[in-house]
Structure 1
Amino acid sequence: MQTVSSVVALREMVRQWRQAGLSVGFVPTMGNLHAGHIKLVSTARQQADKVVVSIFVNPTQFGPNEDFASYPRTEQQDQEKLLASGADLLFLPSVTEIYPQATQTGISVSGLSALHCGANRPGHFDGVALVVCKLLNMVQPDLLLLGEKDFQQLTLIRQMVADLNIPVTVQGVATVREDDGLAMSSRNGYLSEQQRQQAPKLYRALCAARDDILAGYDDYPAVAEQQRQNLQQAGFAVDYFSICRSADLLPAYASDSNLLVLAAARLGKTRLIDNLYFSKTSS
């Protein structure tokens, strides 16, 4: 595996692959890699000839009171994991490489950016859209791999790619979970031992909402409110707990078949997100 830090070196490597007729898969990350990230890399390896992984903690998607400065940075361990996973190229840029000057151009996916996490983190998804668009222009891959744990982010990037005619296939990869159901996340490391024991209750609440709906309860706001209260009683500060249509993340109705239950909640200072997709017609 080669490691480069400049866009020039990145593009030169990709150019050589293109000349050889090879396809390129791309996995953007913020580092502190876990099994969920490695699943993205292994999926890319199965579907593309070459795999590029980026590690970049993007400042434009963090709010003023969020954890940009303290976000875990584990570059050496990450490189070892990527080498073992079979990645071909690691793009490890500095902030000035990605943002060499004050950015005057923004990207905002209207509607989607304001829902759910966007309502609680103003500007977050504008920062995500901007950096992903820049990285796609730098790498120019055939395939972009993103985790389904942040389903809103995945949906937003799909919309951006379609709207801007970016020639890349966006593929979601299923969430990787711990044995107790907790979705793997770099932020799980912030949890205290007691909070780590509480954390799987978020996924259990999603499962309970799904089970209620499949059992015939069609008052979705009431189902969501019940689980919101359950999480609060379990010690979570709930940002949102929503039952949506999976296609556009707008509120679901009883007539909708393909549903997504998604939630964000805090244990102490740690913000956890998770979601659960299911279909009423196939269950």
Structure 2
Amino acid sequence: MTRTNVAGDRHLLGLKSLGKEEIVSILDRAAYWESHTHKLSPVLEGKFVANMFFENSTRTRFSFEVAEKRLGAQVLNFAAAASSVEKGESIYDTVRTLESMGIDAGVIRMKPIGLLAELAEKIKVPLINAGDGNNEHPTQALLDLYTIRKTFGEFKGLTVAIIGDIMHSRVARSNLWGLQKMGATVKFCAPDNMQAPELSEFAGYVTMEEALQADVVMMLRVQLERHDKGFIRSAEDYRAHYGLTVERAGMMKPHAIIMHPAPINRGVEIDDELVECDKSKIFTQMSHGVPIRMAVVERALS
């Protein structure tokens, strides 16, 4: 028997499928929540939200939890390592079980690509993507967009260079879709074996020198575990060719900013001295995670 899905467009699966007006609406609502002086605004009192993390996370999970609690929701935290998933229970069965228990929305992070869209067709409560494989990480991109808008006021005319492992990056993909819809130009910079050929028609690959001339220089985390798989020779070699060193930062435009989705490998993709320098918006980005996720969770349950 087919189950009727009543969640409709209250899911947030990615920015590729989200319109510009919807993105602006989320950013505007986040601005409201950021300016809100009260830490607790129980607009979602009586609602139950499950954070279902089938992949490890620290910042994203805590950020969602703070956002949900600030809105007055009851929060259920689920970690796959301590669940029946280890015993073979499928992700679908786990989500359906929590839905059957009466949750009103679910925040999901998982490794499989494409599974979240299938779940959204079958699950009747709104689902929010907290990162799925190397597909999308929409709330990270939304907080990045929010940071850029607060800094520059608008997106038109801006160039954003995303540097690093584009192939495996869900952050790069969500930012690509979101930034282009908002009117910015996106350029990629990556080693040959970390490029995503399927994205080249949407954003061209440029040299490190050209990338440094962007208005926003967005560094991606180097997954050092890929060193064992031959993607990088060593952390030192990566820094020498694609790291944002103090010397390279000196080549940036005076008004340009540095961004990074974190966690940060200091001294690899970015020099330690640059993480909290005047150009850096890295910790500012992190502070925007809560208001953005408040706007997203409220949208799902409104």
User: TM-score, normalised on structure 1?
Assistant: 0.31
Structure scoring higher RCO (CA < 8 A, sep ≥ 6) equals: 2
Q: Which protein has the bigger strand share?
A: 1
User: TM-score, normalised on structure 2?
Assistant: 0.30
